[in-house]
Amino acid sequence: MNISTEKLHIISQSNFLITGGAGFIGSHIVEFLLKNNAKKVVVLDNLSTGFIKNLEPYLHLSNFNFIQGDIRNWDTCTQAMEGIDFVSHQAALGSVPRSIKDPITTNQVNIDGFLNILTAARDAKVKKMVYAASSSTYGTSKELPKVEDKIGKPLSPYAITKYVNELYAEIFSSTYNFHSVGLRYFNVFGPRQDPNGAYAAVIPLFFKAAIQNQPPTINGDGETSRDFTFILNAVEANIKGLLNTDQLTKHEVCNVAYGEATTLNELWDAIKDITKTSVEAIYGETRIGDIKHSLADISKARNTLQYNPAYSIKEGLQIASKWYIDNL
């Protein structure tokens, strides 16, 4: 990741709060900041979907603090915000199927919790807040590639919650002059993404199947396509969103992806090749709330954040495979 000496100096002089920092994306942001000598990193996580093992290498560090707490609790949010310069808000209940099964909890965490963090960050006068938005916001829009200002209607409760985050952030920008950056993630994957549980993402599920020599189930005909984004590209977007937008004059939303579409059939073939398995996939029903194709235009992120994703899906899969082989 290309970070200037000046920006690295800012990291060494600053205190960061990572909500959801025990989770997949959050723990990688924590790792980057601590490896680059952040003055202090605070993680707020209730461990409902994150894991303390993701933070174990840092628990003994004097510049690291873990708070087990919930973003739905206002007092917890305000206490976590004390002395913080930059906020990376990753805490959320992900998964379209989970939101369809339990829309109330998804709403409470993703909207009430988000508003708590946004308000607490404003009150604490933090320098910048970057938050996890979602490509699910594009909803019924058929246009490809996806461009930030052209969205459709939401297809799931989860998509609604992530769009509401953007609306709140925009209002806080125009009303309170508190400018944040929303990162619309496109199918982020990589080491530490949990392959277990009812709502595991497709790449960890495929790796688990391949390593165990079991056939994966592909929803639909396998020609569904996604713009898969390696985790270190997402970390770059977060760091640059925090540090490269110091002249921000309004709320911004940027796609975070690689800019290349891969079908589920192509994905399984690539993972078969990496893991040297010959198992064929099983095909099942198309999932409710899923869109058929997704591909990002990342030119706005390049221009606004100086985002320049270094890892293709093939390079990311190679790196991820080592972790899954070691851990499965």
> Which position among 58, 131, 158, 324 bears the catalytic label?
158
**What's 146's DSSP letter?**
B
Neighbours of 275 (CB within 10 A): 19
What's the DSSP call for residue 287? Answer: P
Q: For residue 305, give both structure tokens.
A: 């954040």
The Cα 10–Cα 128 span in angstroms is 13
CB atoms within 10 A of CB 213: 10
CA distances from 47 to 50, 54, 69, 191, 271 (A): 5, 11, 8, 18, 30
Element (H, E) at 41: strand 40-45
- The contacts of residue 202 (CB under 8 Å, 6+ apart) are 187, 226, 264, 267
168 annotated active-site: no
Which residues lie below 8 Å from residue 159, measured CB to CB, with a gap of 6+? 96, 99, 134, 136, 137, 139, 289
Q: CA-CA distances (angstroms) from residue 104 to 112, 198, 236?
A: 11, 18, 32
Residues forming the active site? 158
